[in-house]
């Protein structure tokens, strides 16, 4: 079951990210910190764009969509991240369901695009393509240009152009 995250889910959400990405400062602890900082930032966090996957009443996955900016402008784009699923619950469709829930919710908000940094082999099936080929350049912190992707949610809309600037929690 996929649903909007509520306040009571946050201890389990942070544990999902710690466990899904492994322990240590560069692993799950860092991803959990990012999720917490994004949630704490009222300017970035959209409560109705944070989703959990539940199985047998247990939170087993989480994703949130928060705001990033386009360098040198007042344009904002929604960014899909972080996405985590507990290791024992991976490969059961929870991650895919969280991606679909995010795309549907962001589209329903009227946003023309959703950006992310991730494995193109996984995200291509949901319509994500290389962002730089459409004029959205990755931020300097991006691990690789090929991993920075965009889903076009409204093909009639003018697509934002320029370098994406990650929000502060991603820049630490």
Residue 29's pLDDT is 86
Residue 3's pLDDT is 98
Supply the CATH number for residue 46's domain.
Answer: 3.40.630.30
Domain range holding 81? 2-171
Q: How many CA atoms lie within 13 A of 165 on its CB side?
A: 10
Q: How many domains does the chain have?
A: 1
pTM, full prediction: 0.93
Burial class (CB in 10 A: 0-12, 13-18, 19+), 117: buried
Residues with Cβ within 8 Å of 126's Cβ and at least 6 positions away in sequence, in order, are 96, 99, 100, 103, 151
Residue whose structure tokens are 């201890």? 11
Residue 23's pLDDT is 57
Sequential pLDDT tens for the chain (172 residues): 999 999 999 999 999 999 998 854 457 688 999 999 999 997 878 889 999 999 999 999 999 999 999 999 999 999 999 999 999 999 999 999 999 999 999 999 999 999 999 999 999 999 999 999 999 999 988 888 899 999 999 999 999 999 999 998 888 6
Residue 26's pLDDT is 57
Residue 25's pLDDT is 46
Residue 43's pLDDT is 80
Residue 164's pLDDT is 97
């Amino acid at each position: 079951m996929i649903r909007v995250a509520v306040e009571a889910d946050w201890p389990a959400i942070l544990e999902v990210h710690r466990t899904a990405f492994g322990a240590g400062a560069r692993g799950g602890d860092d991803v959990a910190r990012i999720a917490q900082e994004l949630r704490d930032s009222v300017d970035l966090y959209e409560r109705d764009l944070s989703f959990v996957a539940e199985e047998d009443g247990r939170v087993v996955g989480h994703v949130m969509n928060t705001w990033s900016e386009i360098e040198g402008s007042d344009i904002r784009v929604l960014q899909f991240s972080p996405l985590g699923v507990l290791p024992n619950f991976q490969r059961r469709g929870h991650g895919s369901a969280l991606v679909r829930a995010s795309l549907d919710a962001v589209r329903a908000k009227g946003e023309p695009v959703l950006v992310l940094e991730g494995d193109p082999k996984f995200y291509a099936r949901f319509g994500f393509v290389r962002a730089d080929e459409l004029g959205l350049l990755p931020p300097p912190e991006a691990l690789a240009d090929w991993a920075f992707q965009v889903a076009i949610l409204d093909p009639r809309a003018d697509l934002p152009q320029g370098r994406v600037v990650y929000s502060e929690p991603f820049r630490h």
